[in-house]
Amino acid sequence: MDFTLSPDTEALRRRVKQFIDDIVIPRESEDLWTQPERLDEIRRELQAQAKAAELYLPHLPKALGGLGLNWSDTAVIFEEAGRSLLGPRALNAAAPDDGNMRTLSHWGTPAQHARWLKPLLAGDIRSCFAMTEPAPGAGSDPSALLTVASKVPGGWRINGRKWFITGAEGASLAIVLARTDAGATMFLVDTSNPGFRLGRAMRTMDSFAVGGHSELAFVDCEVGDDDVLGEINRGFHHAQYRLAPARVTHCMRFLGAAVRAVEITQRYVTQRQSFGRVLSDHQAVQTQLADCHIEIRAARLMVAHTAWELDHLEPTAVKHGSSMTKVFVSETVHRVIDRCMQLCGGWGTTEESMLAHLYADVRPFRIYDGPSEVHRASIAKRVLNRSMRP
Amino acid sequence: MDFTLSPDTEALRRRVKQFIDDIVIPRESEDLWTQPERLDEIRRELQAQAKAAELYLPHLPKALGGLGLNWSDTAVIFEEAGRSLLGPRALNAAAPDDGNMRTLSHWGTPAQHARWLKPLLAGDIRSCFAMTEPAPGAGSDPSALLTVASKVPGGWRINGRKWFITGAEGASLAIVLARTDAGATMFLVDTSNPGFRLGRAMRTMDSFAVGGHSELAFVDCEVGDDDVLGEINRGFHHAQYRLAPARVTHCMRFLGAAVRAVEITQRYVTQRQSFGRVLSDHQAVQTQLADCHIEIRAARLMVAHTAWELDHLEPTAVKHGSSMTKVFVSETVHRVIDRCMQLCGGWGTTEESMLAHLYADVRPFRIYDGPSEVHRASIAKRVLNRSMRP
Amino acid sequence: MDFTLSPDTEALRRRVKQFIDDIVIPRESEDLWTQPERLDEIRRELQAQAKAAELYLPHLPKALGGLGLNWSDTAVIFEEAGRSLLGPRALNAAAPDDGNMRTLSHWGTPAQHARWLKPLLAGDIRSCFAMTEPAPGAGSDPSALLTVASKVPGGWRINGRKWFITGAEGASLAIVLARTDAGATMFLVDTSNPGFRLGRAMRTMDSFAVGGHSELAFVDCEVGDDDVLGEINRGFHHAQYRLAPARVTHCMRFLGAAVRAVEITQRYVTQRQSFGRVLSDHQAVQTQLADCHIEIRAARLMVAHTAWELDHLEPTAVKHGSSMTKVFVSETVHRVIDRCMQLCGGWGTTEESMLAHLYADVRPFRIYDGPSEVHRASIAKRVLNRSMRP
Amino acid sequence: MDFTLSPDTEALRRRVKQFIDDIVIPRESEDLWTQPERLDEIRRELQAQAKAAELYLPHLPKALGGLGLNWSDTAVIFEEAGRSLLGPRALNAAAPDDGNMRTLSHWGTPAQHARWLKPLLAGDIRSCFAMTEPAPGAGSDPSALLTVASKVPGGWRINGRKWFITGAEGASLAIVLARTDAGATMFLVDTSNPGFRLGRAMRTMDSFAVGGHSELAFVDCEVGDDDVLGEINRGFHHAQYRLAPARVTHCMRFLGAAVRAVEITQRYVTQRQSFGRVLSDHQAVQTQLADCHIEIRAARLMVAHTAWELDHLEPTAVKHGSSMTKVFVSETVHRVIDRCMQLCGGWGTTEESMLAHLYADVRPFRIYDGPSEVHRASIAKRVLNRSMRP
């Protein structure tokens, strides 16, 4: 085993850290929460700066204009970027565009690449991934999918409802998962299609998702045969292909959020006095801070290991590890930020400390990409069926 | 020992429950978060309805227009009211007016009662309690108080800054704690006083505090000798007198928030399907729900016991129990609502489920009225000094 | 609600405390672990002293020679007795004799009372309760019962195996649960019956159970018709009648074990120095000690509430509360003693501190009388079926 | 980063696993607990078999007769060996001989090597490490050392008391830490020295330590100048040199204990029925099992990382990581085994399941080699002083 970063990766990490500290963090103004429309403008400005700094699309192949990092190095860079909730966006490495670009790149035709992938890579357009449905449709259990695509001459007609569709407002493209005759299929839907209806924005607790989270309706939404992404009836398979790395990239980014929370907290507790001593002299503060460091180290190793698996194993072989990492990291990150908020007292509950934002943005991660409960059940079934050693 | 509610209390509890369900909960529209100014209008309307329903001021003596409940019965009624974040306000039983009315009633002169207590009881005006200060002033450690009141002929001149002052926006009265020659003193400050400066609203994670949380400045703020509340230099003592019950009433109300979260969750998990079964058939759901019930029961007993102590013991003798109850209830309530959010999936992270509000409003309670860490240290010192049996 | 102890109960509590401190605790020599046969001798000597001190059988009616306490007062006294792992035995108030005496007293005939109940009350004999069976028989799920009693002229013939039968070695009486034609039935088996076979002693982690835990076999064990206890085929019902209070009495006693652990720990941390300060001056010590006090208070209230329910409600109505109390108290007690062991350092892991004994004796309680997992599932089913409010 | 095991290491791991399963585990008879004297005989027999199987001393250089593994590979092999509480002993890789051999090898003179190191490597003798003292001496805080060595012509005279000295009974050599004029010094004491007094065996909760844990007294114990190990007055430094890897090797071995507990549990829950289903079909079982796998993975990565640091960094640079790993692994291992015990029901609380042994042997590890509380405080101080990023 070898835990060294290559000098190149370490150098890149430092440049990203500098970029986040100097360029991105100053843009986390408190107005964002109430002016969501500003988020997309800031995204464009930051992406221009990231391009100039040659930090853009770090995780994508050089052929796509990226820096060509493997998963192990991506983990390091995404964590640095994740120190700001604006950071991954700045590098065009945020969900859902990130996963959508990978999906398009892997399954798309040259024509689809030209029409959708290219402007996505450039940051000229945004996209959303339309899978989740209101009850009784597809939630944690994708097989409950209710949206239907029926074959029509020359194409398909899609009908159904979606919700919690991140980034939908302002997106040019929706990748839609719909039921077809013998499974599910992915479709590329131009959001200017009259059958695509953007519904209400859902008021969720997080606030840094560009384009929010929306309800969508597909009403006799017609698309062409050339709008099928990948193979017909292989949509669940393609979605799985997307999800395993997607949940790991979330882990990478949110780990950075936990690191940021600890940085904020260390500054606070070494300055603020209480009961005649600086806060950091109180052992109850030290204890909680130590736990933050210990758990972040463990979480970082879990991420690094799964990143290594993504680099070296077949995607199906990574499922087990990515489930374990997702549970561990999402719960660790929440616990770390919760402790940080406690240590920063009243100030920590305000937006100006950023902790209230970090706290709120991280909480849903224990639910999406598979709630901890669902992952635990599948981890257990896997180890019991295969008598896997712990 | 006797754990029975009197028939009168039980009847009142049912009436409050009905009022909360029928009148108050329907007003929890999702607009509140972004239209804080509406909150005060809704408060007035609900208070009028509570008066009509004879549920107003349940916890205050009949002589003050209240229902005259003792602390034990107040605990039951406040928990019911707390099932809506608007509920305590509707009964005029919410912080900070609640504690301010008690403080005025106990230490105020007849003239102070006529000028301030009467309109507060009527709900015609609102008030705030100005104690907490930005660093390096009074936070968890009140003795760091920096705001100063200097004696001037016929009165006092107050200078200093405060922050996290709940309800300040729109308040007519501020009860101010300021350092005086040999201690601290409480002053009644009319917010139309030119020396009273309402600063910026602090953007905190909670959203149901009428009048928000603000910064204040007192700039050569002159008040008369008859604006001293209670005794000169006894301000810390008077504040303690206020705080012990205040933290218990918070427990009562927030316990109701936890109950509400479980009610919401039970409805959700018995209706929503996942993996071919209703959610409530999954044992991982059952386990977490059982823990909610177990812990709420324990928390309710902690509150009931401390309420009983408030009814029967000297205030100083209640300090130990109220500290333990505050730590236990604030942490339990957070854990319960966190589990509920997890069980309600994506929907639970939205405002429409109310869980995101309950979650955010409850989190700061582990910090204010003494962070858990401070309470734990004083609990331990007390038991070690007095060799108290556990 | 009323949380006062009557003066009589308080006086009795003090006498029990004195008895435990002066008479019982000095007998907790470290030889017991390796000389289990001494335990029964010590039991007899202590019981004689308890009789002389008029503290014997506190929980049983005066008609049976007891002190006639109701459940609420029993809770207080059992907790005091539980401060020594020998304490409940000294008062003849320990499992399984305690539950067996209640069962005999409630369902037994006058002849059964004369033959078995009388000497049990006197402490002249001991008994065991033979329900649990090795797989695939009755464990957490009693309905899997495999031991069978077949009708023969004038009586019954019992065949089957049991294990984890506490107190079997040296017992004169076994109350046996066996399957009969239309349910299960309880039988009184004299252990001198040739069909009663005492098997090997099971080496479990606890060490203060007089008579240990044994395997039993019933091999064509013939008993008379007058050895049926209670009604034929109503054995599961009678067992339930026994179990609900049994698990609450365990809670009462083990709560005392937690209290004892804290007493030991408070003495230790106020004397032992580390890093230049007495241990109790370290905040990490204070924090854990405070949590012990907080959780013991909550656990004591849970027990008191369920004791009150046992005094005032139908047994079936107590099931829900006794399940919740069992889960809460068994987990609290373990956590408290675990913290105490941590605070007492290496010394806490030795028998001489008694903490190793308290730790080991308390751990199995999270499993027997229903593992936490089974209770949680039934608590959840109950609240979901009846839409019970939390 | 690279998470691959070399083919050689993987092959060795399999051979060790086979050896533990086939040769060592069958020797874990339940008699050991009550016949501690048998342990040393079994050790000798197993060591002979390990030599024959070429698995002996895996972690020591080939020059010393070992297999020459680096720390990374040692981690893998020690974990496999740790699956049996007899395993590390079988490979002569158990505390305290393991650390003593390293210390002797590093600081010893050729004469000391000939006299002590050689027979220790061969397993012909055993040793102990005499540092810990009863209060008010050296415990978690080594600087409180009270045992004194005074210079006498040609050597030193040692006086003082020690306790919790593992392996003392039957040891031929004691490495003693004693205060000297300007610090502390390590001495090699032949236990046949008349000034060496073996005191009482301490009855601790663990039971697989060959030679138990004893009190020692040094009464005018004279040793020669050539019995100084390393440099005079550099004893604390030498002890630190020993402790950092020592605590990591404990982590490696105890991680194996957690793995073993899960193996036992997986066999149990896939065979035992409850409520009409095999236990492993209950989601509450699955959830806990999944957590075991997740946390073991994280703990293994923490160990692997620190092992890598031991291979590549200066010892002082490993201190931070080894503290974090010690806290994380000791707490994880305890939690995992506690869950396993819960899942195995009553059977898990018996020695025959081995879980009671694993549980008891692992608990003290949260205390020795630095209690979690002490490590947390020093981790926090380090990160706060150096503004270390999390």
> What ipTM goes with this model?
0.95
Kindly report the pTM of this predicted structure: 0.96
At residue A105 the predicted structure's pLDDT band, cuts being 50, 70 and 90, is very high
Tell me whether the omega of the peptide bond preceding residue B136 falls within 30 degrees of 0, making it cis: yes
Residue B114 lies in a domain: no
**CATH number of the domain residue D42 falls in:** 1.10.540.10
**CATH number of the domain residue B374 falls in:** 1.20.140.10
Chain B residues within an 8 Å CB radius of A352 = 202-203
Residues facing D155 on adjacent strands: D152, D224
Residue of A294, A339, A358, A372 to mutate when probing chain D, most D C-beta within 10 A: A294
pLDDT of C385 reads 85
pLDDT of D179 reads 97
DSSP C257-323: HHHHHHHHHHHHHTT-EETTEEGGGSHHHHHHHHHHHHHHHHHHHHHHHHHHHHHHS-HHHHHHHHH
At residue D116 the predicted structure's pLDDT band, cuts being 50, 70 and 90, is very high
Chain A residues within an 8 Å CB radius of B206 = 349
User: How many Cβ atoms sit within 10 Å of the Cβ of residue A153?
Assistant: 5
Residue of C373, C378, C379, C381 to mutate when probing chain D, most D C-beta within 10 A: C373
Q: Is A48 left (phi over 0), alpha (psi -120 to 50) or beta?
A: alpha
Residue of C213, C265, C270, C274 to mutate when probing chain D, most D C-beta within 10 A: C274
Chains that touch A (3 or more CB pairs under 8 A): B, C, D
Residue B132 and residue A346 in contact, taking contact as beta carbons nearer than 8 Å = yes
**b/e string for C196-218 if b means 16 or more Cβ within 10 A?**
bebeeebbbbbbbbbbbbbbbbb
Tokens of A293: 């460091």
Contact flag B293-C381 (C-beta cutoff 8 Å): no
Tokens of B262: 């479980």
At residue D388 the predicted structure's pLDDT band, cuts being 50, 70 and 90, is confident
Quick one: what percent of chain B has pLDDT higher than 90?
Answer: 84
Inter-chain Cβ pairs, chain B and chain C, closer than 8 A: 157
Smallest CA–CA distance from D320 into chain A, residue:
A294
Contact flag D284-B282 (C-beta cutoff 8 Å): no
Smallest CA–CA distance from B342 into chain A, residue:
A367
Q: What is the distance between the alpha carbons of residues B290 and B360, in angstroms, rounded to a whole number? A: 23
Could you give the 3-state DSSP secondary structure of residue C2?
strand
| Amino acid (1-letter code) at residue B343 | L
Chain D residues within an 8 Å CB radius of A312 = 4
Long-range contact pairs involving D20-25 (C-beta distance under 8 Å, separation at least 24): D20/D80, D20/D81, D20/D83, D20/D84, D20/D87, D20/D90, D23/D49, D23/D53, D23/D90, D24/D84, D24/D86, D24/D87, D24/D90, D25/D83, D25/D84
Return residues 271-290 of D near B (CB < 8 Å): 282-284, 286-287
| Contact partners, residue C230, CB within 8 Å, separation at least 6 | C103, C107, C108, C185, C186, C238
C193 and C90 in one domain?
no
β-bridge pairing C183-190 and C196-201: unpaired
Q: What is the distance between the alpha carbons of residues D116 and D190, in angstroms, rounded to a whole number? A: 9
Q: What is the distance between the alpha carbons of residues B209 and B166, in angstroms, rounded to a whole number? A: 7
Of D1, D2, D324, the CB nearest to A293: D324
Residue D30 has pLDDT above 70, yes or no: no
pLDDT in tens, B97-153: 999 999 999 999 999 999 999 999 999 999 999 999 998 888 878 889 999 999 999
- How many domains are there within chain C? 3
Tell me whether the omega of the peptide bond preceding residue C136 falls within 30 degrees of 0, making it cis: yes
Residue C111 lies in a domain: no
A227 and A334 in one domain?
no
C318 and C191 in one domain?
no
Residue of A281, A282, A283 to mutate when probing chain C, most C C-beta within 10 A: A283
Tokens of B52: 């009509």
Residue C66 and residue C58 in contact, taking contact as beta carbons nearer than 8 Å = yes
pLDDT of B32 reads 64
User: How many Cβ atoms sit within 10 Å of the Cβ of residue A96?
Assistant: 25
Residue A119 lies in a domain: no
At residue A315 the predicted structure's pLDDT band, cuts being 50, 70 and 90, is confident
Distance from CA of A375 to the nearest CA of D (A): 9
pLDDT in tens, D250-270: 999 999 999 999 999 999 999
- In SS3 terms, A24-72 reads as HHHHCCHHHHCCHHHHHHHHHHHHHHHHHCCCCCCCCCHHHCCCCCCHH
Q: What is the distance between the alpha carbons of residues C82 and C93, in angstroms, rounded to a whole number? A: 10
Smallest CA–CA distance from C283 into chain A, residue:
A283
User: Cα B84 vs. chain centroid, distance in angstroms?
Assistant: 13
| Amino acid (1-letter code) at residue D209 | A
Distance from CA of B289 to the nearest CA of D (A): 13
Inter-chain Cβ pairs, chain A and chain D, closer than 8 A: 157
State the 10-residue block means of pLDDT for chain C, 390 residues long: 90 98 90 72 96 97 96 97 97 96 96 98 98 89 92 98 96 98 97 97 89 96 98 94 89 98 96 88 96 98 97 90 97 98 95 93 94 96 83
Residue C72 and residue C307 in contact, taking contact as beta carbons nearer than 8 Å = yes
Please say which residue of B184, B209, B234 terminates a domain. B234
β-bridge pairing B183-190 and B127-130: unpaired
At residue A34 the predicted structure's pLDDT band, cuts being 50, 70 and 90, is low
Q: What is the distance between the alpha carbons of residues D348 and B204, in angstroms, rounded to a whole number? A: 49
Inter-chain Cβ pairs, chain A and chain B, closer than 8 A: 124
β-bridge pairing B127-130 and B173-180: parallel
Chain B contact present for A141, CB below 8 A? yes
User: How many Cβ atoms sit within 10 Å of the Cβ of residue C29?
Assistant: 12
pLDDT of A244 reads 79
β-bridge pairing A148-152 and A155-166: antiparallel
Phi and psi dihedrals of A67, rounded to 5? Answer: -90, -5
Could you give the C-alpha distances from B88 to A59, B24, B254, in angstroms and in order? Answer: 52, 10, 10
Return residues 350-379 of A near D (CB < 8 Å): 373, 375-377, 379
Contact flag C262-B390 (C-beta cutoff 8 Å): yes
Stretch among A143-147, B275-279, D224-228, D374-378 having the lowest mean pLDDT: B275-279
Residue of B6, B260, B293 to mutate when probing chain C, most C C-beta within 10 A: B293
Chain B residues within an 8 Å CB radius of D284 = 283-284, 286-287
At residue B243 the predicted structure's pLDDT band, cuts being 50, 70 and 90, is confident
Segments forming the whole domain that contains residue D19: 7-104
Contact flag D371-C140 (C-beta cutoff 8 Å): no
Tokens of D312: 């590549």
A292 and A229 in one domain?
no
B381 and B260 in one domain?
yes
Contact flag C294-B379 (C-beta cutoff 8 Å): yes
A169 and A251 in one domain?
no
A153 and A77 in one domain?
no
Inter-chain Cβ pairs, chain C and chain D, closer than 8 A: 124
Q: For C350, which DSSP code?
A: B
Residue D88 and residue D96 in contact, taking contact as beta carbons nearer than 8 Å = no
Residue A30 has pLDDT above 80, yes or no: no
Residue B253 lies in a domain: yes
Please say which residue of D179, D210, D232 terminates a domain. D232
D376 and D258 in one domain?
yes
Of B203, B285, B352, the CB nearest to A203: B352
Contact flag B286-C387 (C-beta cutoff 8 Å): no
Of B30, B349, B367, the CB nearest to A205: B349
Contact flag D2-A2 (C-beta cutoff 8 Å): yes
Residue D331 lies in a domain: yes
Q: What is the distance between the alpha carbons of residues B60 and B121, in angstroms, rounded to a whole number? A: 9
Contact flag A363-B371 (C-beta cutoff 8 Å): no
C100 and C18 in one domain?
yes
Smallest CA–CA distance from A366 into chain B, residue:
B342
User: How many Cβ atoms sit within 10 Å of the Cβ of residue C108?
Assistant: 18
Contact flag B287-D282 (C-beta cutoff 8 Å): no
Strands (DSSP E) along chain C, which ranges?
127-130, 148-152, 155-166, 173-180, 183-190, 196-201, 213-224, 228-229, 273-274, 277-278
Q: B353, B359, B362: which is closest to B267 by C-alpha?
A: B353
Distance from CA of A46 to the nearest CA of C (A): 44
Contact flag B383-C266 (C-beta cutoff 8 Å): yes
Residue A290 lies in a domain: yes
Specify the DSSP element, H or E, that contains A278. strand A277-278
Tokens of C107: 């369902």
Residue C376 and residue B284 in contact, taking contact as beta carbons nearer than 8 Å = no
Chain C residues within an 8 Å CB radius of B328 = 294-295, 297-298
Quick one: what percent of chain D has pLDDT higher than 70?
Answer: 98
Q: What is the distance between the alpha carbons of residues C344 and C26, in angstroms, rounded to a whole number? A: 20
Stretch among A6-10, C292-296, D144-148, D315-319 having the lowest mean pLDDT: D315-319
Residue of D279, D283, D285, D343 to mutate when probing chain B, most B C-beta within 10 A: D283
Chain D residues within an 8 Å CB radius of A375 = 290
B174 and B214 in one domain?
yes
A351 and A259 in one domain?
yes
Q: For C62, which DSSP code?
A: G
Smallest CA–CA distance from A299 into chain D, residue:
D298
Distance from CA of D206 to the nearest CA of A (A): 24
- Which is more confident, A241 or D13? D13
Residues facing B159 on adjacent strands: B148
Chain D contact present for A302, CB below 8 A? yes
Please say which residue of A233, A249, A267 terminates a domain. A233
Residue B115 lies in a domain: no
- In SS3 terms, chain D reads as CECCCCHHHHHHHHHHHHHHHHHHHHHCCHHHHCCHHHHHHHHHHHHHHHHHCCCCCCCCCHHHCCCCCCHHHHHHHHHHHCCCCCHHHHCCCCCCHHHHHHHHHHHCCHHHHHHHHHHHHHCCCCEEEECCCCCCCCCCCHHHCCCEEEEECCEEEEEEEEEEEECCCCCCEEEEEEEECCEEEEEEEECCCCCEEEEEECCECCCCCCCCEEEEEEEEEEEEHHHEECCCCCHHHHHHHHHHHHHHHHHHHHHHHHHHHHHHHHHHHCCCEECCEEHHHCHHHHHHHHHHHHHHHHHHHHHHHHHHHHHHCCHHHHHHHHHHHHHHHHHHHHHHHHHHHHHCHHHHCEHHHCHHHHHHHHHHHHCCCCCHHHHHHHHHHHHHHCCCCC
Residue of C277, C280, C283 to mutate when probing chain A, most A C-beta within 10 A: C283
Chains that touch D (3 or more CB pairs under 8 A): A, B, C
Q: What is the distance between the alpha carbons of residues D58 and A115, in angstroms, rounded to a whole number? A: 60
Smallest CA–CA distance from A17 into chain D, residue:
D389
User: How many Cβ atoms sit within 10 Å of the Cβ of residue A350?
Assistant: 21
pLDDT of C207 reads 83
pLDDT in tens, B358-374: 999 999 999 998 999 99
Q: What is the distance between the alpha carbons of residues A268 and B141, in angstroms, rounded to a whole number? A: 16
A222 and A156 in one domain?
yes
Question: Residues B340-352: what's their mean pLDDT?
Answer: 94
| Amino acid (1-letter code) at residue D90 | A
pLDDT of B347 reads 94
pLDDT of B316 reads 83
Chain A contact present for B268, CB below 8 A? no
pLDDT of A143 reads 86
Q: How many residues does chain A have?
A: 390
Residue A173 and residue A100 in contact, taking contact as beta carbons nearer than 8 Å = yes
Residue D70 lies in a domain: yes
User: How many Cβ atoms sit within 10 Å of the Cβ of residue B61?
Assistant: 12
Q: Is B42 left (phi over 0), alpha (psi -120 to 50) or beta?
A: alpha
Contact flag D380-A258 (C-beta cutoff 8 Å): no
**CATH number of the domain residue A219 falls in:** 2.40.110.10
